[in-house]
Amino acid sequence: MIYKKKIVVRLTSLSLIMSLALSTVLLSSQGNVNAQMSMEKTEAGRAKFHHLEQPLGLQIGVVVGGAALIALELWWFVFSKKQAHKAEAKQGVQELTITVDGGYEPSQVIVSAGQPVRLNFFRKDPSRCLETVVLPDFHIARDLSLNHVTAVEFTPEKPGQYTFTCGMNMFRGVVEVESPTVAKANG
Ligand SMILES: [Cu+2]
């Protein structure tokens, strides 16, 4: 639910940015047209109408191109967005693998409250930055050995958002803990 809201907020801000960019492009192309027109006037006023058509075509091209860019951007944003991953319950433990490589993937995991969680951190990144994972809310700080899976276990009692970070708090992920009823309703 919270995640969906975030997407809507991000989409809105993205489309705002894109429309701003588009209007800037349009304005600057309009400026070019005006500059060209005034140049035509000084050179040969008669040819004005004939020459006006080309910039108009250019403008349509800019609009179409801009619209295509927006569509592409939206498509990329919606479909290539890293999704939140729901931990799968196996024998009473909600388990999920998180790849540690230039950050955490997935960086958003969904679990339900009151059930043990096991996050398997698979560290591929040799940088020392990511060698420790910290879950402050669960008083966990664990060293991750390179190219190995390190299991981190805890049981979240209350719904909420709990962050996990690298030792220096530069990379972050979030454990979204849902109440068991919500988790059931979402399937
Ligand atoms: Cu770090």
Give all strands (DSSP E) within the chain, no chain letters.
Answer: 85-86, 88-90, 93-100, 104-105, 108-112, 117-123, 132-135, 140-143, 149-154, 160-166, 172-178
φ/ψ of residue 14, rounded to 5: -65, -45
In this structure, are residues 118 and 183 in contact, taking their beta carbons and an 8 Å threshold?
A: no
Give distance in angstroms: CA of 184 to centre of ligand 1: 35
Give distance in angstroms: CA of 97 to centre of ligand 1: 19
Give distance in angstroms: CA of 129 to centre of ligand 1: 3
Give distance in angstroms: CA of 107 to centre of ligand 1: 14
Give distance in angstroms: CA of 101 to centre of ligand 1: 12
pLDDT at 83: 76
pLDDT at 72: 72
Quote the Cα angle for 167-169-175, to 5°.
Answer: 95
Give distance in angstroms: CA of 127 to centre of ligand 1: 8
pLDDT at 23: 53
**Mean per-residue pLDDT pooled into runs of 10, the chain (187 residues):** 43 49 51 47 50 68 77 63 83 97 97 97 97 97 98 97 97 96 64
Give distance in angstroms: CA of 32 to centre of ligand 1: 48
pLDDT at 8: 43
Q: 175: which strand partners?
A: 109, 162
